[in-house]
Structure 1
C-alpha cells in the first residue's frame, strides 16, 4: 500500500512497531485507551455497556486537557455508539487505509500552513488490528497478533524530530500518561488497586523516556490484552494474553462478570513468534 503521509509522520515520530490494544473490539479498546485504564478497570467488554456506569466516572484524555485549560474538539466516532461496521473485502480495507492516509496529509498540511506544526503534538493509533482471513478469522474479536497489534506513533516537536523507532512492547494505555508528560503537565499517578473511585490516574506508562532513549532497559517487557467469549451451554470465558518479544501466551479461565474475576482455568495457547509468526501452532501442551 502507498501511504506517503503515514510514512512522513513516522519519520518525525516515536514509531511504536510493537504497539498493542488491550481489547480487540472498538468500544472496549477506546474506553481503555482514552481513560488510560485496562478493560478489567473500565468493565467494558462489549459494545453495549458504558464505562462511566460500569467502571467509574473516570477522566478521559480530552476531558483532562479541557480541565487544564485547553480547547478540545472531537469529531467522528470517539467512543463506540453501539453500531458495528464490517469491511468485507481486502480491496475495501486497502482503500480505507489510502483514504486515512489522505486525511492525515490534510491535517499535517493544515498544521504547516497555520504555523502550528512545531508546537503541536500529534498521536496516531488504531483501536484494534484486523484479520483478513488469517487464523481462519475475519475482522477482530480475538487475542491473536493480527487483532491486537495496532498502528501507533506519537510526534512530539523537539523530541522526535529525527524519528525514533521502537521495537519494545507498548500499549494503548500508555498514550494518556505520554501526552500529559509531553505537554509538561504534572505526571499522572499510577492507579491504585481500588481504581473505581479515582477520577484521574493511569495504568500505563509514559513513553517520553523512550523518545529520549529507545534502548531504556527499565521499559516493560510485555504487553497485555484480553477478549471474552460466551459459549452457550458452557459459560463465559476471558482470554488473557501476554505478548513478549518472542512469545504470545493466552489463558482461558471461566470468568464471573459480576465480580469481574477469573475462576477455573479451562485452556491455554502458546505461540513462538520466532518460529511461528502467524500463530498457527499452539505449543501450550508441548512438553519439549
Structure 2
C-alpha cells in the first residue's frame, strides 16, 4: 500500500488551524518562476455545460474558458461523494489509500504526512489560499462541525463566506429550527442538520448568497496576490442542494423547454442496492413528505431540474466575474485555470433525483477543463480516459514541481497541446460502498473505452455481484448485460482487467 507515514507518527487535531505549531518543510526554488494556478471546484456539477454539448443549459462564461483550454470529455472521480472525492483529488491518492469513504473521516487521520496539492505549491514558494468549499465542509454550519479543512494546505486560513446557501424563506425556517434545538438543549450532528427549502428563487443580488460572496472574495484575493505567485482555490457550493439561485437565473429557463431524462427507471437487471433515490432530497422541508418508494410528481421533477439548471447558470456567472478579473489584472498569461466538478449527479436518470452515491456514469463522470498559458491546442476536446488522481501530477508537471512519490495518477500535460497524443490509460476506476441485506459491499468499477463493469464485492469474500454496461449500444446504462450469454467472454476479460488494475485492500468501515 502506498503510504505517506513518517517513522514517528505525527499527532493531528482536526480544526487546530493557526493556533497549533505546524511542521516546517524544506522548500526549493522551482526550475522557473512557475505559473499561477486558479483552481475552481464546483460542487455536484455534472457535465451539463454548453462546452460538453448540452443545448439547454446556459453557461457562456465556462464555455469561453473551454475555448482557450481543453475539455476532458471522459474525466472520472474516484468516488461519488464530496469528502472522499475531494480528499482523493487533493492528495493524489485513491480512497482506499486515504481511507476516506464517508463525510466524517479526515484524511489526515489515515495519512497524516500526505502532502496535498495546494500544500505542494505552498511548500515551494507559492502563496496558497483557499476560499470556501475545497476540502469537504457543511456550508450551512461550516464553523460548527463537518469541516474537513486542512490548515497545512494554506498560507493563511481558509476563507469562509458569511452569507447563506438558502434563500430568505429557507434561511428563516433553518434559524427557527436552530433556536428550537438550542432551547431544547439538542446537540447538532450529521443526522439532524437544520434545513430549509430545497428550491427557492429569491429576488436578490448574487453577492447576497454564499457563492456570490465567494466570487467577490476571489476577485479581491486576485487583486492582492497579483504581484506574487499564487495557488488560489475557489470552491463553489452550488449546484448542490438546496437549489437556490437569484430569480434572474431561474428566469433563464421556462418549464416548457425543460427536457426530463428519458430513462426515469431502474436499469434492467441491475441489483436494487446499486441505486439510490432521494437520499439527499428528503431532508428539506418541501420534500420531507416524499416516501422512498414513491415517484415524484412531474411538477416536482421539473421544479428540481429547473432549480439545478438555474444554479449552474448562477455559478457560471460567478466564474465569469473571476475570469474577467483575471484578464483585467493581466494575469491570464501567467495563470493556469482548472475548473472541475467534484463528481457527477443524477437529476432523474434511473429515477434518481438530486443525488449521486452510485457507480453509474451519471455519478462518476464530471467536468474537467484545463487552460494553460500558451496552450497550442485551444478549444479542443480530449476523449482520453482521465481520472481525478491525474490532476495533481499534471499541475505539478506544468509548474515544474516534484510531486511526492507514490501518487497513483499520471500527468496528462501532453494532452493540453495535443488532445490526440498517445495516452496509456485504458481504465478509469471508481468505487462506492453500499449496504445490502445487512452486509457491507464495496462496489468497484472500471470504465473502459466501451464498457463499464461494476463488481459488488462482499467483505466476507462471498460471491460477487456484477453489472456490465455496453456504452456502444447502451450509453445511458439502461441494461445490465452481465448475465447475457453473448457478453460472457467480455465479462471474463473485463473481470481480469478490473482485478489487474485494482490492488486488493481492506474495506474501510
Q: Common fold, TM-score beyond 0.5?
A: yes
Shift of 1:190: 5.1
DSSP-derived class of the 1:226 partner: strand
CA distance, structure 1, for counterparts of residue 423 and residue 79 of structure 2: 25
Match 1:220 to one of 403, 412, 425:
425
In the alignment, what sits opposite 2:372? 156
DSSP-derived class of the 2:445 partner: strand
In the alignment, what sits opposite 1:86? 241
Shift of 1:214: 2.0
Match 1:102 to one of 306, 317, 323:
317
Is the contact made by 2:377 and 2:418 (CA closer than 8 Å) also made in structure 1?
Answer: no
CA distance, structure 1, for counterparts of residue 477 and residue 453 of structure 2: 11
In the alignment, what sits opposite 2:381? 165
CA distance, structure 2, for counterparts of residue 265 and residue 204 of structure 1: 30
In the alignment, what sits opposite 1:180? 396
Moved more, 87-96 or 171-180: 87-96
In the alignment, what sits opposite 1:197? none
Provide closer, same or farther for how the CA distance between residues 149 and 218 of structure 1 changes in structure 2, counting only shifts above 3 A.
closer
Q: In the alignment, is residue 277 of structure 1 matched against residue 475 of structure 2? A: yes
Q: In the alignment, is residue 267 of structure 1 matched against residue 482 of structure 2? A: no
Shift of 1:161: 6.1
Provide closer, same or farther for how the CA distance between residues 55 and 287 of structure 1 changes in structure 2, counting only shifts above 3 A.
farther
Q: Please give the per-residue CA displacement for 1:170-210, whole angstroms capped at 9, x wherever unaligned.
A: 11111111111111223x2551xxxxxxxxxx211111111
In the alignment, what sits opposite 2:122? 66
In the alignment, what sits opposite 1:196? none
Moved more, 124-133 or 52-61: 52-61
CA distance, structure 1, for counterparts of residue 373 and residue 76 of structure 2: 24
Q: Please give the per-residue CA displacement for 1:135-184, whole angstroms capped at 9, x wherever unaligned.
A: 22221000000010101011111125623310011111111111111112
More strand by share: 1
CA distance, structure 2, for counterparts of residue 220 and residue 110 of structure 1: 36
Is the contact made by 2:344 and 2:366 (CA closer than 8 Å) also made in structure 1?
Answer: yes
Shift of 1:212: 2.9
DSSP-derived class of the 2:453 partner: strand
In the alignment, what sits opposite 2:267? none
Shift of 1:90: 1.1
CA distance, structure 2, for counterparts of residue 105 and residue 160 of structure 1: 23
In the alignment, what sits opposite 2:346? 131
Alignment of structure 1 residues 182-201 onto 2, 5 Å: 182-186=398-402, 188=403, 191=406
DSSP-derived class of the 1:103 partner: helix
Is the contact made by 1:31 and 1:44 (CA closer than 8 Å) also made in structure 2?
Answer: yes
Q: In the alignment, is residue 287 of structure 1 matched against residue 485 of structure 2? A: yes
CA distance, structure 1, for counterparts of residue 478 and residue 370 of structure 2: 32
Q: In the alignment, is residue 12 of structure 1 matched against residue 53 of structure 2? A: no
Shift of 1:78: 1.3
- Larger Cα-atom Rg: 2
Is the contact made by 1:14 and 1:160 (CA closer than 8 Å) also made in structure 2?
Answer: no
CA distance, structure 2, for counterparts of residue 278 and residue 56 of structure 1: 40
DSSP-derived class of the 1:176 partner: helix
Moved more, 169-178 or 74-83: 74-83
Q: Please give the per-residue CA displacement for 1:72-108, whole angstroms capped at 9, x wherever unaligned.
A: 1111111112369634511111111001111111111
Q: Please give the per-residue CA displacement for 1:37-70, whole angstroms capped at 9, x wherever unaligned.
A: 1101011111011111024431111111000100
Is the contact made by 1:13 and 1:160 (CA closer than 8 Å) also made in structure 2?
Answer: no
DSSP-derived class of the 1:63 partner: helix
Provide closer, same or farther for how the CA distance between residues 209 and 265 of structure 1 changes in structure 2, counting only shifts above 3 A.
farther
Provide closer, same or farther for how the CA distance between residues 190 and 168 of structure 1 changes in structure 2, counting only shifts above 3 A.
farther
Q: How many residues align?
A: 270
In the alignment, what sits opposite 1:237? 441
RMSD, aligned α-carbons: 1.7
Identify unmatched segments of 5+ residues in structure 1: 192-201, 257-262
